[in-house]
Structures are given as structure tokens and as C-alpha cells.
Amino acid sequence: MKLHVIGCYGPYPNAGGAASGYLLEHEGRALLMDCGAGILGKLMNLWDPAALECVLLSHLHFDHASDMLVLRYYLERMGKTLPVYVPGEDASPLRSLLTEPAFRVLPYPDELSVMGLTITNMPVNHPVPCRALRVTDGEHTLVFTGDTTVCPGLSEFARGADVLLADSAFLASEWTEKMPHMSAKMCGELACQAQAKRLYLTHLAPRHAPETVTKEAREAFPASEAVRPGMVIAL
């Protein structure tokens, strides 16, 4: 598996950047995890969107799903229908715009098999329905937390992950119990509890220097690194 970081900022991108979006490539096929603001144009440099196997939306906040609205125009022009998986209980107005023929919207099953991968999901702690995703090819495992603050069971869900891609929107000095995201320190603690091999910090706030976020996470988990657009993570 190869994970291409297309965009990694939230809740809005920095200048020239993009919000949440990750291309997961395996055996000559690919799927997209999240499709936030600015993702589509950058995706087209990597992969024909009409050739994707599916899109996995962790949730329907705009910084994770807004470029689905312009992706729709491209798919209609190409005569392609793309499966899109979303939290089944989400009744967001955005979901009503993800219509056929471009999209076939489906609730996450307990287990999804696609591209020779097995994908499971877990509800996490966010203001709207959101899913953490665990993807394995039987040998290596990627876990993406989606957007979440501290969440019972998440460390077990991420147990032994080769790569843990975690929501690191805040620094510890900013975080309070009302926050809908984790701090970099919490992500490091999560990776340690889960006995992950590598931690990659995402959902980066443009106001934070990646080096600052990385330094904080490394205090709890040395194998931590803030992602950057264009990064390719091999599993």
C-alpha cells in the first residue's frame, strides 16, 4: 500500500494547500479517503478520479467532503458512477447533494472488501457522525482516526497499526474538554497506547508550524511526524 497525502489542513487550507484528502494505492488500483476543499485539482495530478474504486468519507464536514460537489460534474461528464461510503446515520444537507448518477452513496458496512483490502470502521467522538478507518492488506495496516477528540476504544481499534494517521488540530496548550479534535500530545499518547509503529499527524491548523506539532507529539511517541502535501507513505 502507498498513501499519498493530497491535503492535510483543517478546518481550512493554508495558501496554496488543501484540506483533508488521501489517495490510497494498492496493486494498481486506488481509493480516496476524504475529499475536502482543494483536493480535486491536486488529485488529478495523481490519478484519474473516474478511475477510483470508491471514496471513503470519514464524515460530511466541508473540510472533508466539499470537493465532492465539483467531483460530481467530472463524473457526470465521464459517465462514471462512484461508490461513496459515509456514516449511515448522517443526515447532513451535504449528503442530499451526493446524488446519482455520479454517486452511489452507501452506509459503511461492518467490513468492506475492496482492492484486496479489508476495511473496518469505528464511530468516534465528533460533533457529527464520524468514522475512524482501519485498512489492511493482511500484512500491513493503516488506521485513520478521522476527526475525533479522546475516544474510548480508539487505542484498541488502532492496535499494532503500521501507520497511524491522527487528527492533530490543536496543541496541548490550546486544548480543553470542549474541543472536537485531539492535540498533538494526545496523538502521541494514542500511538503509544496502541503500540503503533509510526504516527503521522494530520488535520493541521495553518497557524501551527509542522515542526511545533511534531515536537509535541514526539514527547510521547518518538516515531511521530507531521504530514505534508505531496508526502507518500509506504506501508
Report which DSSP code applies to 9.
B
Long-range contacts of 170-177 (CB under 8 A, 24+ apart): 170/205, 171/208, 171/212, 171/213, 171/216, 172/216
- Residue 179: the pLDDT is 82
Q: What percent of the chain lies above the pLDDT cut of 90?
A: 93
| pLDDT at residue 13, as a whole number | 92
Model confidence at 180, in pLDDT bands (50, 70, 90)? confident
Provide the CATH number for the domain formed by 2-234 in this structure.
Answer: 3.60.15.10
pLDDT of 229 higher than 90: yes
Q: Could you report the per-residue pLDDT of 196-223, keeping only the tens digit for each? A: 999 999 999 999 999 999 999 999 999 9
Q: Which residues pair with 21 in a beta bridge?
A: 7
Whether the CB-CB separation of 119 and 135 falls below 8 Å is answered with yes
> Among 50, 64, 60, which Cα is nearest to 7's?
64
Question: What is the rounded CA–CA span in Å between residue 24 and residue 232?
Answer: 10
Asked if the model's pLDDT at residue 69 lies above 90, the reply is yes
